[in-house]
Amino acid sequence: MRIDGLQYANWSEKIFRQLREGGVDAIHVTIAYHETFRETVLNFEKWNRWFEQYSDLIMKGQWASDIDAACQTGRTAVFFGFQNPSPIEDDIGLVEILHSLGARFMQLTYNNQSLLATGCYEAEDSGLTRMGKQVVKEMNRVGLVVDMSHSGDRSTIEAADHSQRPITITHANPHDWQPALRNKRDEVIRAVTQNGGMFGFSLYPHHLRGKSACTLTDFCEMIARTADKFGTAHLGIGSDLCQDQPDSVVEWMRVGRWTKDIDYGEGSQAAPGFPPMPDWFRDNRDFGNIEQGLRDVGMSADEVAGIMGGNWYRFFAENFGPMGEKHG
């Protein structure tokens, strides 16, 4: 089983076919960065049309059992998430509405301070806000997973401690391997994984040691070292693949509507843009390279199977439904 904990591709029939060629059984896709509730609903509509148009390749994912159905029918199950809490605006009641529409992950912040918590680009991290604590409680109740991939250290640790259910960092790498604002220090990874949460390793070049020149061996050795520290049961892949996106999309991701200036982000030069992917992971057809790379650095078959998808599957089964229910 292969499950990717996060992608934000420029979706097309070509990519849907590559998912099948790469044996990717499920993906978590971002359908909102800075969108309002109504704009996010339009993105759900767009995906519903794709599910109709490409019903032989993809299907909507809401529960772990949908991954089983996808495997049985040769399709990829698509699960939805937001990289910002903007779709709930300032209304906690929209948490349940969005979950009912199919949302399964929501980041409490995207780089900046939000109504809920502090992003990793802010100078001061004040932790979860009063609203943030209430929203986490509501997300726990309905089965919308807390994602802290772009959040500050204190906010992430507080979210892991405050949440009654496991949380995630869907796409990042260890800070001590590649220092970057978005990569996570050991105490942050520990807070998430020791509470049963998931940590997804990112292939986004700015978060790799050596960036686009990072080797497969270096990446897989980093995963193995992380597993030595925190165990393998709560680790997975969250590639952060942004395939075929134009560079203008980076501006939307970083700038949204909050500034008139260009936010170049870490690792960017004269203008924001997508760096080239490593040559061993250019698209969804290359997941087999990671699988082989993990074996080559000495990980067991069971450990590799867990990291490539089994751990995400278990997490989905335990956390997408209402509190106390399991949707296998």
| Secondary structure class of 78 (helix, strand, coil) | strand
- Let me know if residue 324 belongs to a domain: no
- DSSP output for 305-318: HIIIIIHHHHHHHH
- Let me know if residue 325 belongs to a domain: no
Q: Which amino acid is at 198?
A: M
Taken in order 58, 62, 67, 68, the sign of the CA dihedral is negative
What's the structural domain count of the chain?
Answer: 1
pLDDT for the residue 255: 84
Q: What is the 3-state composition of the chain as percent helix, strand, coil, each rounded to the nearest 5?
A: 40, 15, 45
Q: Yes or no: say if 80 and 45 are a contact pair by the CB < 8 Å rule.
A: no
Nearest to 14 by CA among 288, 299, 285, 226: 285
- Let me know if residue 285 belongs to a domain: yes
Residues 144 and 138: their CA atoms lie apart, in Å, by: 8
* Residues with pLDDT less than 50, the chain: none
Domain that holds residue 20: 3-319
DSSP symbol at 32: E
Nearest to 81 by CA among 170, 185, 181, 208: 170
pLDDT for the residue 324: 73
- Let me know if residue 326 belongs to a domain: no
- Let me know if residue 114 belongs to a domain: yes
Q: For residue 105, give every residue at least 6 positions away whose Cβ sits within 8 Å of its Cβ, in sequence order, or none.
A: 28, 79, 80, 81, 82, 144, 145, 147, 168, 170
- Let me know if residue 151 belongs to a domain: yes
Structure tokens given for 35: 């969108």
- Let me know if residue 208 belongs to a domain: yes
pLDDT for the residue 265: 64
Q: Give the CATH number of the domain where residue 114 resides.
A: 3.20.20.140
pLDDT for the residue 264: 64
* Residue 130 CB neighbour total at 10 angstroms: 9
- Let me know if residue 327 belongs to a domain: no
* Residue 95 CB neighbour total at 10 angstroms: 24
pLDDT for the residue 260: 87
pLDDT for the residue 8: 95
pLDDT for the residue 328: 62
pLDDT for the residue 327: 66
